[in-house]
Amino acid sequence: MPGIDYFYPEFEVVRRDERCIRCRVCERQCANEVHRYDAERDMLISDEAKCVNCQRCVSLCPTRALKIVRSDCRLRENANWDGDTIREVYKQAASGGVLLSSMGNPKPLPVYWDKLLINASQVTNPSIDPLREPMETKVFLGKKPDRMTRDAEGRLKTDLTPQLELSMPVMFSAMSYGSISYNAHASLARAATEMGVCYNTGEGGLHEDFYRYGPHTIVQVASGRFGVHEDYLEAGAAIEIKMGQGAKPGIGGHLPGAKVGPDVSRTRMIPEGSDAISPAPHHDIYSIEDLRQLVWSLKEATGHRKPVIVKVAAVHNIAAIASGIARSGADIIAIDGFRGGTGAAPTRIRDHVGIPIELALSSVDQRLRDEGIRNNVSLVVGGSIRSSADVVKAVALGADACYIATAAVLALGCHLCRTCQSGKCNWGIATQRPDLTKRLNPEIGSQRLVNLLTAWKREIMELMGGMGINSIEALRGNRLMLRGVGLNETELRILGISHAGE
């Protein structure tokens, strides 16, 4: 729309010219075309209006001549109308469109992980040194028997329903091939295999090159049913039915046709260049009974050899929803909190729909225990697990394992610029442009993911050792190991923990 441009650029590109050697790496590496070399003046100039602050140029500048700072040109903000809110009004007045964003909810809503503190042993019960004593972080996800049973000869019966074995209680959550690049998927698949955990295909199908990582792959069946066929279901270690996503509960997905190139098209089983639209609901699921049918169809299709996960977004009645899922035949429930990431979501939904994962997890765990069906399912939680401390707190609140995705893409180089929807990811993650995807060498990417998980595993062992616990199983649902700070009575009741000092 013609008229006045209401926007002063959000960032400024600061170039210390006394350090700039005109190597032009910034110019070559910026897909947003911020930097440009002016031969006449022999200098680099920048158009900061195009800058998304992904810091690719900052990271590659060999003389550290560059930095990106937030512009201090401020709108006339006040406590009610902050700059972002005003800018969003301007944006919509100019475009008439729904606002789009990526990655997780950035609003200053409470992060309960940061208000939970972990216990440690002193004097009476000894702490354990994980460097000297064995420490078990392995978990099995799936339905557990309620009691031990023996056969006629008195031998223990060990025929369990299918279980997903993980060397530590962390998995990479669903990110589809399409939303992220081939090389990002390759990095996740290799790292999951090396670490003995799982990654998740998301709903984009499984690229033919990655079938060999099948034993460490969770294959997803979502509302669009993209790329779902018999071999796909057979390839995975578990099958996940995606009912909802924390970043955008209640709505579907939309991969623009521009990202559906030959490979994505083949993998998703849709025509090249066509938009891949995932409906908001599964059109065959309108009740727990319908869900049960899909769970059992998938189990029948795979000979009851694979656990089935049902993934839902954390919403208001999550405890009742989880109770229904636990009775549907699902082996694992995955709950995604409102801070979970995404490649693209309507801003209002990302920022205003859903509830914190900490509260969802504790209420679900408690409800399933109260109903005596906690052993029917394992609980996996995601939606902003940022560190090993978050993992330990989640396990203590009742989770069997955690899903991480934002942390994983950060390890791959993501700088949370939150413009995945543009398809111009300078780090080669959320893009399908060949010149950009090649920037992520899976040899480096997978090593960085392995390093991250290795570090977290060590930290989990340290924290467990401090509590005098030598097995992650003994930490699960052990809420006595947690105390809250700065929480009110209701929050403490839902979390099922005491206040610090109590």
Partner 1 sequence: MKRVYVNEEWCLGCHLCEYNCAFANSGESDMVKALKGKPIRPRIRVEGDDRITYAVSCRHCLDPLCIRSCISGAIHREDGVVCIDREKCVGCLTCVLVCPYGAVQPGPDGAAMKCELCLHNAAGEPACAAGCPNRAIVYEEREEGQA
Dist. CA 97–CA 435, nearest whole Å: 30
157 binds partner 1 (CB under 8 A): no
Q: Which stretch binds partner 1 (CB under 8 A): 12-20, 31-39, 127-135, 199-207?
A: 12-20
One of 29, 105, 176, 363 touching partner 1 (CB under 8 A): 29
Of 28 and 138, nearer to partner 1 (C-beta) is: 28
Q: Which stretch binds partner 1 (CB under 8 A): 54-62, 241-249, 345-353, 401-409?
A: 54-62
One of 6, 28, 95, 269 touching partner 1 (CB under 8 A): 28
* Mask for 131-150, x = binds partner 1 (CB under 8 A): --------------------
Window 64 to 93, contacts with partner 1 (CB under 8 A): none
Residues in CB range of 273: below 8 A, 6 or more apart:
257, 258, 260, 265
- Nearest distance, CB of residue 261 and partner 1, angstroms: 16
- Nearest distance, CB of residue 437 and partner 1, angstroms: 11
Q: Which stretch binds partner 1 (CB under 8 A): 24-32, 103-111, 366-374, 456-464?
A: 24-32
Of 220 and 446, nearer to partner 1 (C-beta) is: 446
> What is the C-alpha R_g of the chain?
24
Dist. CA 188–CA 80, nearest whole Å: 42
Dist. CA 399–CA 380, nearest whole Å: 6
Window 169 to 198, contacts with partner 1 (CB under 8 A): none
19 binds partner 1 (CB under 8 A): yes
25 binds partner 1 (CB under 8 A): yes
14 binds partner 1 (CB under 8 A): no
User: 443: exposed, middle or buried (C-beta count within 10 Å: 0-12, 13-18, 19+)?
Assistant: exposed
Q: Are the C-beta atoms of 348 and 249 separated by less than 8 Å?
A: no
Dist. CA 284–CA 332, nearest whole Å: 21
Q: How many CA atoms lie within 13 A of 185 on its CB side?
A: 31
Of 177 and 427, nearer to partner 1 (C-beta) is: 427
* Mask for 113-132, x = binds partner 1 (CB under 8 A): --------------------
Dist. CA 184–CA 106, nearest whole Å: 24
- Nearest distance, CB of residue 62 and partner 1, angstroms: 6
Distance of CA 61 to the CA centre of its chain: 30
The full 3-state SS of 73-104, as one line of letters, equals CCCCCCCCCCHHHHHHHHHHHHHCCCCEECCC
62 binds partner 1 (CB under 8 A): yes
Dist. CA 165–CA 197, nearest whole Å: 7
The continuous run of DSSP H or E covering 299 comes out as helix 288-301
Site size with partner 1, rule: CB under 8 A: 19
Q: Are the C-beta atoms of 50 and 32 separated by less than 8 Å?
A: yes
* Mask for 427-466, x = binds partner 1 (CB under 8 A): -----------xx-x-xx----------------------
Q: Which stretch binds partner 1 (CB under 8 A): 19-27, 266-274, 377-385, 458-466?
A: 19-27
Q: Which stretch binds partner 1 (CB under 8 A): 59-67, 239-247, 379-387, 469-477?
A: 59-67
Of 69 and 444, nearer to partner 1 (C-beta) is: 444
One of 7, 8, 24, 81 touching partner 1 (CB under 8 A): 24
23 binds partner 1 (CB under 8 A): yes
Nearest to 91 by CA among 10, 11, 5, 9: 5
Of 29 and 105, nearer to partner 1 (C-beta) is: 29
43 binds partner 1 (CB under 8 A): no
Mapped onto helix, strand or coil, the DSSP state of residue 374 is: helix
- Nearest distance, CB of residue 189 and partner 1, angstroms: 18
Dist. CA 243–CA 315, nearest whole Å: 12
Of 22 and 283, nearer to partner 1 (C-beta) is: 22
Dist. CA 163–CA 493, nearest whole Å: 32
Measured between its terminal Cα atoms, the distance across the chain in Å is 61
Q: Which stretch binds partner 1 (CB under 8 A): 5-13, 60-68, 162-170, 319-327?
A: 60-68
Dist. CA 424–CA 30, nearest whole Å: 9
Dist. CA 76–CA 70, nearest whole Å: 16
Report the 10 Å Cβ neighbour count for 128. Answer: 20
Of 210 and 338, nearer to partner 1 (C-beta) is: 210
154 binds partner 1 (CB under 8 A): no
- Nearest distance, CB of residue 432 and partner 1, angstroms: 16
Chain contacts with partner 1 (rule: CB under 8 A):
18-25, 28-29, 59-60, 62-63, 438-439, 441, 443-444
